[in-house]
Structure formats: structure tokens, C-alpha cells
Amino acid sequence: MSSENGMFGAQGTGDTSGYGGLVRTAASTGSSERPYGSYFDSVTDDLERAYPDFADAIERVVVDRGELTLHVKASRLVEVSMILRDKLKFEMCLGVSGVNYPDDKDRELHAVYPLLSMTHNQRIRLEVSVPDSHPHIPSLVEVWAGNNWNERETFDMFGIIFDGHPGLTRILMPDDWQGHPQRKDYALGGISVEYKGATTPAPDERRSYR
Amino acid sequence: MSTYTDPYAASRETTEGTVFSVTGGDWDSLVTEIGQAKEERVVVNMGPQHPSTHGVLRLVLELEGETVTEVRCGIGYLHTGIEKNIEYRNWTQGVTFVTRMDYLSPLFNEAAYCLGVEKLLGITNDVPERASVIRVLMMELNRISSHMVALGTGALELGALSPMIFCFREREKVLDIFELISGLRMNMAYIRPGGVQQDLPAGALAKIRATVKDLRHSFKDNENLLVGNSIWMKRTEGIGYLDLAGATTLGVTGPVLRSTGLPWDLRKMQPYCGYENYNFDVVTADTCDVYGRFLIRVNELEQSLRIIEQAVDKLEKLEGAPVMVADKKIAWPAQLALGGDGLGNSLDHIRDIMGTSMESLIHHFKLVTEGFRVPAGQVYTAIESPRGELGAHVVSDGGTRPFRVHFREPSFNNLQSTSAMCEGSMVADIIGAVASIDPVMGGVDR
């Protein structure tokens, strides 16, 4: 993770005392071993049966902290989602959450989709990763219409372009905003506020936050 | 076109046709001008500062006569960058941010976030029972105060003033309990990773018991104002229709989903904080309309009171039990004392760390300034907030600060269904439909 400015002028780890020796543990990058436990084995088996290209489309199957994550290739996302919705009864998609991992080479931008099956009372998660240089993911609005605003939010905050979205515009930030605020290379603060002629300096230029 | 310039309804020509800016009350000249226009279609901007849009919500309405043909929502006016800011503070300080998202249900925001952090830490089962029961107690009190605003402002927006006054009076009683317990009426940052900030003060349970009795009595009065009221029913029955298929595909949860007849409540389906140990019913309606959602909220009040009573019984049996995890590397030194002017430092604790133990002082300093580390990974935790599924997607890179926290806000997702509910209806019915979704813009925009 790249260094960032924190409280009280802290650099990098946020270890303000200097004696913490903070070591960050990277999340595992491999697939989990079978058996996954809980309902995860049966969900994965069902998907493999219903979707012949499973081995090609699903890059990794990760079970961590009692949650199942399927890492899907961006190009196969819509196919997999259709099967999950129609055959495995994951009727609801609870939006999309972007995550920016600047150190994950050529997979800097991740989109995470939590899915819910009300029929079977199960939850799984889809994760798609794309490079910063080509941030394109197919839109899931035609699969789950409720993803419309969520994809706009993720575009607004991370700059991920959802191909096929009916109207991919900014939703939370002003239309003419520059940059995508939730990316790790976008610093906190730095925007000066102008109100009735008086200008307030940006928070990072006011006191010791620099 | 106009022969004179009206100071209240000036018009100008644009590439999309004549645009009228109505700034004052002179509708007559506007109507005259529109009467001369070639087409019937009128685009009206409603909000963002409008007393009936339930917050700073902007609605762009396309009208044909009085029929709404298209509705678009404009949001973002209350965006405060909470998800960004949280990445620059430690895990415990994050609670102070998330509590400010949906300002009508702060304890739910805190609970969703803390359950996520605890799951990442792997201490979900180590949270003391007393802390979980206090969380349930506080969340259900919060559900009442939130529903009070939903019902009160919903009625106000449709023109009924008395229910609003009554509902806010009852809400005040709940906020008094919050103030007694946490020192704050709103945005209390009371639920912390590992438990709650501090134990209940003396006399809190007795006050809650008295208030529950009081509330149950006054809820009856409130009910009599609107339930079955013929004017109210004419404004709400069959309005804002959204069926199960529509709700599912739009990701709509909470009372709006339950108004389609599906008893989907995460407290029952995927219990957290020990909800499986309480007796309560999931309230549903099968009308798919505004009146059904109104009835659900009214009846959920009684279910919340039932849960509160059971929680108070449990707390009496758990008197003196811990309210924070035993692991001192996670539990923040929360020794505070409730004084006459609110929560403040506990003199006993300060005497202890300053006067008797150097190690305690170092530990206190390290934990508060640097914070604890959370093992790398990601989790998604969901709870049933008054508005539906409130989910927290929490990602850690192993550091002392969150790497990414995203909230799946029920208001945000439910508000998307405005178009589906309102297109084809009358202008006046939009107000009722939006009020029945009960979006809180602080939560929508974060």
C-alpha cells in the first residue's frame, strides 16, 4: 500500500509511536481447498453443473471468514450472473462495491458484488478485477435492474466503466468533477471552498494535517 | 409566447424548448403561457429544497397534464465523503463517521460496521452477551424513533399535521433514553468494535420499563389518528404500487419488500446479535402500496416494544457482566463517567494510568492513537435497519485503519424504485410514494 498522510503528520503505517513495527499481512492470493464447508460446496457444485465453462470463467474460489467469493473474469460476468440468478436463484444483487488495490499489478480495480438468494437463504460474492489501464466491466443492469445506481456510484468513485449501462453518469459528485475520489491516488482534502467571495483553504493546508 | 415579462415566471428559449423558471407564486401567467405551447409535455423540477421530498432530494418530473410520465431522482446533495474519510482514521474512530450516515438510525450504522470489524478480527463469538443484548435494546429503541419520524413526516407531507406533532413527542422520549445511556441523543458512537462504549447507568432499566409502558399507550392514540381514517386511505391505498418481482430486481428491502407479502426480515432469516433468542413476529402486508407500508411501520413498533421488554429482562439477569471483549489489545479504554454535563473522563481511570501504572499509560496511548490491527481480508455483514438491509463491505489490508468500507444503504437502493412506483400516477401521489420508501438522504448520499 502506498504511503498516505494521516493524523498528526503520520506517514505510512499510522504507527505514531514508531515502536509498533507494524507489518501488513497481504491477503492470500490462491484458491481455497475443498471442502469449503457450509453450503459453499453445494453452491459451487450446482454452478459447475449448470455452467459448463466454469473452469474457464471462475479464476479463483475463496472461502474466508465464513464467506464464499467467486473471482470471475470480466468478460464472463454477465453469463455467470444469469446462471446464478435463474438456475441457482440468487434473486437479489446488493449492489457493487469498488476497491482500489494499487499494488495488485494489472488488477488494480476490483468490483465486488454481494448476492443474496432469498429462496435458499444463502449469500455469495462475485469479485471482478480489471487493470487501471483498461477499467471496463460489463454492466449487470440487465440482470439485476437495481444495480443501476450502484454502478453509477462505483463509476463516480473509482472510474470503473460499466459497458452497456443505460446512462453511466456521476451520481454523488457534481457532474463536472475532476477525478474519482475513492481511488487510493486521490488525496483526502485538497479542495478549497469558495462561498460568497471568501475562500476557505483546503483542510490539508490549514494546520498540521499535511 | 409571452407579451410581457413576468417577474415570477420568466421564460427563456433553449435548445430543448421554452424553459420557465417559477420563483414566486404567480401560476396564472405560467398556465397561460403553457396553454399557448404546442405540446402538452411539461418538465417540472421538484426539490432539492422542497418541504415534501423527504430531505434534499431532487425529482425531475415529466408531466402530461397531471399525469407523471417520467420521474428521475437527483441525489448527492448531502454527500460528505464518509467512506473516504474513514480510510484516514483508525478502526474505532470509524464508528464516529458511520453513525452520521443515516442520521435517523445511527445505532444501526454502528452495529453493521462493528459486526464487520469483529468478523474480520474473528472475535464475533467473544463479544460478551451483555453487550449483544444492549445492542439489541438500543437498536430496537432506535427502530422506534426512526419509524416515528417516518410516520410523522410521511403524514405531514400528505397534509396531516397532528400525527407529526404526536410522533415527534414520542420520539423525544426515546431520545431521552439515548441521552441517559450514551450522553448523546443522536450520532452517539455508542457501539464499538468488541462491545459497547460503556455499561448502562444506574436507573436506566427502570426508565426504559416506564417509557415502554408510556409508549405502548400513546402508540394507540397515534394509531387512532390514521389507521382506517378515510382521508388517509384515499391518499395511500393503491398508491406507489410495487410488487415482489419489481422489488426483488430493484434490490428493494425492508418495509417496502414486506409490503409485497414476503416475510423477509434479516433478524429472523440470518440472525445477528442473538436475535434468535427473542420472540417477535415479522410484520407483512399484501397490498404492495403506501398504506401497506404505513401499516407495517405502525405494527413494527409493537414488535420492537416486545423485543425491548425481553432485552430488559435479560439485562437484569446479566447485571455486572462485561460489555466489552476481554482482549485488552482490542477493547478501547472506555472508562468514562457520566457527569451532569454529559460523558467525560473517569477520574478513577486517569488516576490509575497517570499515577500508578506506566504500562497502563503506554497501553492506553498506543491503543487510542495508533489503534489495533485487523487481519487482512474482506467481509460483508448485513443487518435489518428500519429501512431494509444495511450491509457493510469492510476490507482490511492488515493495518490499523480501514482499507475500504462501503455501505450498502437501504435508502439508496430503495429510492431507485421511485420511478417504478410513480410513473403513470398523479403528481400528488409522488409525495406519498416517496414518503413510504422513507429515504434518509444522509444515508443515500453518505
Q: Residue B2: pLDDT above 50?
A: no
Q: Is B301 an 8 Å CB contact of chain A?
A: no
DSSP states of B31-83: HHHHHHSS--EEEEEE-SS-TTSSSS-EEEEEEETTEEEEEEEE--TT---HH
CA distance B281 to B284: 9
CA distance B231 to B141: 30
pLDDT for res A115? 93
Helices (H), B370-438: 410-415, 418-422, 427-437
| A94 contact residues in B (CB cutoff 8 A) | 251, 380, 382, 389, 391, 408, 413
pLDDT for res A17? 46
Could you tell me the domains of chain B?
A: 9-74 (no CATH), 82-330+372-445 (1.10.645.10)
Cβ–Cβ under 8 Å, residues B376 and A26: yes
pLDDT for res A202? 62
Residue A104 DSSP SS3: coil
Write out residues 170-209 of A within 8 Å (CB-CB) of B: 170-174, 181-182, 188
For residues B56 and B117, the model is more confident at B117
| B398 contact residues in A (CB cutoff 8 A) | 23-26
Please state, for a pLDDT cut of 70, what percent of chain B lies above it: 91
pLDDT for res B54? 74
Could you tell me the domains of chain A?
A: 32-187 (3.30.460.80)
| B125 contact residues in A (CB cutoff 8 A) | none
Nearest CA in chain B to A22: B399
Cβ–Cβ under 8 Å, residues A94 and B408: yes
pLDDT band per the 50, 70, 90 thresholds, residue B391: very high
Write out residues 116-155 of B within 8 Å (CB-CB) of A: 119-120, 122
Per-chain mean pLDDT for chain B: 86
Residue B323 C-alpha cell reads as 460489555
Residue A63 DSSP SS3: strand
Average pLDDT score over residue span B275-294: 92
Residue B242 C-alpha cell reads as 410495487
| B262 contact residues in A (CB cutoff 8 A) | 118
Whether residue A65 and residue B83 make contact (CB cut-off 8 A), yes or no, is no
Write out residues 223-262 of B within 8 Å (CB-CB) of A: 248-252, 262
Lowest-pLDDT range of A105-114, B332-341, B408-417: B332-341
The closest CB to that of A146, out of B249, B270, B403, belongs to: B249
Nearest CA in chain B to A150: B413
Whether residue B393 and residue A97 make contact (CB cut-off 8 A), yes or no, is yes
Lowest-pLDDT range of A7-16, B112-121, B139-148: A7-16
Whether residue B380 and residue A123 make contact (CB cut-off 8 A), yes or no, is yes
DSSP states of A164-202: T-TT---SSS-TT--S-TTSTTS-S----EEETTEEEPP
Lowest-pLDDT range of A190-204, B24-38, B175-189, B295-309: A190-204
Helix, strand, coil percentages for chain A (3-state, nearest 5)? 20, 25, 55
* Residue B373 backbone dihedrals phi, psi, to 5 degrees: -95, 145
Query: pLDDT per residue over B321-343, tens digit each?
Result: 888 888 878 887 767 766 666 66
Q: Is B205 an 8 Å CB contact of chain A?
A: no
Q: Residue A102: pLDDT above 90?
A: no
Residue B371 C-alpha cell reads as 489503534
Cβ–Cβ under 8 Å, residues B408 and B389: yes
CA distance A81 to A85: 6
Average pLDDT score over residue span B336-353: 73
The closest CB to that of A16, out of B370, B378, B379, belongs to: B370
Whether residue B90 and residue A174 make contact (CB cut-off 8 A), yes or no, is no
pLDDT band per the 50, 70, 90 thresholds, residue B31: confident
CA distance A62 to A36: 9
pLDDT band per the 50, 70, 90 thresholds, residue A7: very low
pLDDT for res B99? 93
Average pLDDT score over residue span A29-50: 84
Whether residue B79 and residue A13 make contact (CB cut-off 8 A), yes or no, is no
Per-chain mean pLDDT for chain A: 81
Nearest CA in chain A to B78: A172
Strands B17-22 and B41-46: unpaired
| ipTM score assigned to the predicted complex | 0.83
Burial class (CB in 10 A: 0-12, 13-18, 19+), B230: exposed
Q: What is the pTM of this model?
A: 0.86
Cβ–Cβ under 8 Å, residues A172 and B75: yes
pLDDT for res B22? 64
Residue B127 DSSP SS3: coil
Q: Is B96 an 8 Å CB contact of chain A?
A: no
Q: Residue A5: pLDDT above 50?
A: no
pLDDT for res B160? 85
DSSP states of A45-59: HHHHHH-TTHHHHEE
Min Cα separation A37/chain B (Å)? 17
pLDDT for res A16? 47
Helices (H), B99-195: 106-121, 129-157, 161-182
